[in-house]
A and B are shown apart, each in its own frame.
Chain A
Amino acid sequence: MLLELSEEHREHLAFLPGVDRAVVAEFGRIAVEFLRRGSNPKIYEGAARKLNVSRDTVQHGVEGLTYLLTESSKLMISELDFQDSVFVLGFSEELNRLLLQLYLDNRKEIRTILSELAPGLPSYHSLEWRLDAQLASRSLRQQIKPSVTIKLHLHENGDHTTRVLQTDPATLLHLVQQLEQALGEMKTKHCRRVVRNIK
């Protein structure tokens, strides 16, 4: 599958052949950093001054590169397809190789970042547990009531939340049994067949 690059996009990227490879590599680094942490306009100013071009040119160059990397990562296009897509830009072989390397080096991380954009539910992070025995309460003395206290750590929209919960021994065993069944499902013939056939 080839990437389709619009006129505007090609214009933005047209800036790249005019600078040497260290600069392109630097722009690539900035692009990925912006994906990780958000853009920082001040960087454009500094770069524009050093390269003696307008701020807009630098911004477009970085944005064009960012879009190239994210679209390729999103579609998970093959090396060959990437090279063919970039070929239409008419860059030098060296630049093409550099761009390909940039793509391959950063693809995994970019996909991880993109996956965080999906409508998501809180996701599991970890769990702590503690065994307790309730000995007395205001309404009843001399008890021995075993219970399990659980601290569930979840990730929700980038925030770390915790829920403190409790359960009794019987329910704990029930939970373990149910969730082991859930784990076992992936090993069944049905699921294996699905995984094999959807590609």
Chain B
Amino acid sequence: MELSEYVQQGLQMLADPGCFGPGAFALLLRAAFQSLLDAQADAAVLDHPDLKHIDPVVLKHCQAAAATWILEAGKQRADKSALSTYLEECKFDRERIELFCTEYQNNKNSLETLLGSLGRSLPHITDVSWRLEYQIKTNQLHKLYRPAYLVTLNVENTDSGSPPEINFSCNMEQLQDLVGKLKDASKSLERATQL
């Protein structure tokens, strides 16, 4: 893992028992994870009586450093030995390394889910609704007497200003074509997952 000077300094301060006693260390660690994973977390995570004696600038520096380290580890999918090695180099003692790794292990899944959800992707279909109607006449054409479907795809966009729904009409054959093709895709998916 390659981390900047600033992050390394923050971690080294965090490792120093003179700066952070065991209680304060554990609290800051928890605060770092919370600030990343808890959607409701805010600056108040650092508002704890046992952290009051530490300079707020130092607190922020160390929390930022820890958070950056956590994200980098998550991104790289680092295993326990890689994590320990890096922390050893930052002069963390055995106990603190254990605590760091345990906390990381506990939060690993949430972290990976969070990281996996970031990034650009194509508009994502989330749901479909349909309506079946029987067409009788229009002002241009009488005696239609045919069924028609109106399909709405609900789409979640990550960016782009396009609308959250795609509407289109189709007749029986077209809907059969659509369903047929989607079934092909899902059969293909099933086969691929069995490989």
Contact = CB atoms under 8 A, between A and B. Distances in A.
B118 A186 contact: no
Contacts of A74: 140-142
A126 B182 CA distance: 11
B168 A121 contact: yes
Contacts of A127: 177-178, 181-182
Interface string A109-134: 00100110111111111111101000
Given A123-B170, A152-B166, A154-B168, A165 B125 contact: yes
A131 B182 contact: no
Given A124-B151, A166-B125, A137 B118 contact: yes
B185 A122 contact: no
**Chain A contact residues, majority secondary structure:** mixed
A165 B123 contact: yes
Interface string B71-104: 0001111000000000000000000000000000
A199 B75 contact: no
Given A123-B169, A124-B178, A140-B116, A191 B132 contact: yes
A146 B195 CA distance: 13
Contact of A182 (B118, B132, B168): B132
Contacts of B155: 165
Contacts of A123: 168-170, 174
B186 interface: yes
A175 B119 contact: no
A40 interface: no
B44 interface: no
Give the size category of B's interface with A: 35 or more
Contacts of B53: none
B19 to A, nearest CB: 31
A172 B193 CA distance: 15
B26 interface: no
Given A139-B75, A165-B155, A149 B149 contact: no
A131 B122 contact: no
B26 to A, nearest CB: 27
A182 B130 contact: yes
Nearest to B141: A114
Interface string B36-74: 000000000000000000000000000000000000001
Nearest to B136: A198
Contacts of B118: 137-140
A179 B178 contact: yes
Interface string B128-148: 111010101010111111010
Contact of B143 (A75, A117, A124): A75
Given A139-B118, A146-B192, A172-B182, A182 B140 contact: no
B125 A145 contact: no
A179 B151 contact: yes
Interface string A137-153: 11111110110111010
Nearest 6 interchain pairs by C-beta: A124-B170, A140-B115, A166-B122, A167-B125, A139-B118, A182-B130
19 contacts: A75-B142, A75-B143, A121-B150, A121-B168, A122-B168, A123-B168, A123-B174, A140-B115, A142-B77, A149-B122, A166-B122, A167-B125, A169-B186, A174-B128, A175-B125, A178-B128, A178-B130, A179-B128, A182-B151
